[in-house]
Amino acid sequence: MAGVAESGVVDAVAARLPRLVTDDEICLVHDRALLDQVVAVDADGGGRLDPDTVMSAGSLLAARLAAGSVLTAVEGLQESEQYRSAFCVVRPPGHHATPTDSMGFCLFNSVAIAAATLTDAGERVAIVDIDAHHGNGTQDIFYNDPRVLFASIHQSPLYPGTGMLDERGSGVAVGTTINVPLPPGATGDIARAAVDDIIIPAIEAHRASWLLISAGFDGHRADPITELGYSSADMADLVGALAATVAPGRVITVLEGGYDLDAVRDSSAAVTAQLVGERIRPEPPTSGGPGIEVVRAARDLHRNP
C-alpha cells in the first residue's frame, strides 16, 4: 500500500474493501476436504498445513478476504466502465494451492477462484503468472480446461519443482498451459521476450475476454529467497505489455509472492502507475541475463506442437 501511495497516481485509484469469498466459491476449484482442513486448523487457533505453510489465528480471515478481493475486483469492473483495471494488494498468496492441498504459503487459490467464476459465466480467461515460483496450483486446477489459458514465467530450479517446458495441458486442453522455466540470473529482457514471442500470441489466439495476472514480485533481484534478476521497472513493463491484450476494464493484477519489502513497494508503485496509463520507474529495467535459449525452445514447442 505504501507503493500504491508513492505511485503518483493515487487520484486515479479508487480503493475498495473486499468481500469475503464464500464456501461455494472456494469449492469451485478446491475439494471440500481442503476447506474443511483449513477451517479445522483455524478452529484450533492456528497450526501447520504443510512444512512451509503455517496458519495464525488471523490466517483464515485473511485468506477469505484475499480470494474475495479478486472477486470484488471482477464485480467492480463489471459494474462500471469507469475503471480500466484492478490491482489486488493481498496476502496470503494463492497460486500454489492445488485442488487438494494448501501449500507454499497459500491457503486458497484466489486467482483460480475468480477464473472459475468467470468461465462459469461464459468468459474466456487467460492467467499469466510472473512470480519467481511456478504456479503449480493454478496449473493443476486448469490443466484439463481449454477455457483457461495458463502461462507461467518462473525460475527453475526452484520450489515447487514443477513448470517444465513439456507441461502443456492434457486432453482437449493440450497447448493451453505454457511454461517458460528460466535459469537463475535471468533479467527482465528475457521475461519480456517470453511475453512478446510466446504469451501474447497465445492470449490472442485464445481470444481471452479477461486477463488475470499473478504478479509475484519475488523475481526482483533483491528478493532473499529467489535468484532472478528483475527490477521494479521490469515488473511494470511485463504487466503493461500483457494488459494491452484484452479490453480495458478486463484486467486484474493480483499480488502473489515477494519477500523484500522495498522491492514489493517499488514494484507496486510502478505497476499501479502502469495500470492507469502512467510511467513511473523507481529503477531502470534490466538486461543481459541468461535464458534466451529457454524462450526460444518454448516458442518452438508452442508453434510446432
Q: Which of the following is catalytic: 95, 96, 133, 220?
A: 96
Mind listing the pLDDT tens digit for each residue in 57-103?
999 999 999 999 999 999 999 999 899 999 999 999 999 999 999 99
In one-letter notation, the amino acid at residue 225 is I
Is the confidence at residue 43, as pLDDT, over 70? yes
Give the whole-number percent of the chain exceeding pLDDT 70.
99
Question: What is the predicted pLDDT for the residue at 294?
Answer: 98
Q: Between the CA atoms of 137, 39, 36 and 257, what dihedral angle is there, to the nearest 10 degrees?
A: 0
Which segments of 75-157 are extended strands (E)? Answer: 86-88, 125-129, 148-155
Residue 96 bears catalytic tag:
yes
Question: What is the predicted pLDDT for the residue at 277?
Answer: 94
Q: Name the residue among 89, 37, 60 with its Cα closest to residue 268.
A: 89
- Cβ-count burial 105-139 (b if 16+ within 10 Å, e if not): bbbbbbbbbbbbbbbeeebbbbbbbbbbbbbbbbb
Is the confidence at residue 305, as pLDDT, over 60? no
Q: How far apart are CA 211 and CA 251, in angstroms?
A: 5
Q: What is the mean pLDDT of the chain?
A: 97
Helix (H, G, I), strand (E, B) or coil at 98: coil
Helix (H, G, I), strand (E, B) or coil at 251: strand
- Given a contact cutoff of 8 angstroms between Cβ atoms, the answer to whether 271 and 171 are in contact is no
Question: What is the predicted pLDDT for the residue at 92?
Answer: 97
**Mean pLDDT for the stretch of residues 17-37:** 98
Question: What is the predicted pLDDT for the residue at 303?
Answer: 86
Question: What is the predicted pLDDT for the residue at 95?
Answer: 98
**Mean pLDDT for the stretch of residues 103-116:** 98
Question: What is the predicted pLDDT for the residue at 215?
Answer: 98
Fold adopted by 2-303: Arginase; Chain A (3.40.800)
Mind listing the pLDDT tens digit for each residue in 237-287?
999 999 999 999 999 999 999 999 999 999 999 999 999 999 999 999 999
Is the confidence at residue 56, as pLDDT, over 60? yes
Give the whole-number percent of the chain exceeding pLDDT 90.
98
Q: Name the residue among 89, 63, 74 with its Cα closest to residue 271.
A: 89
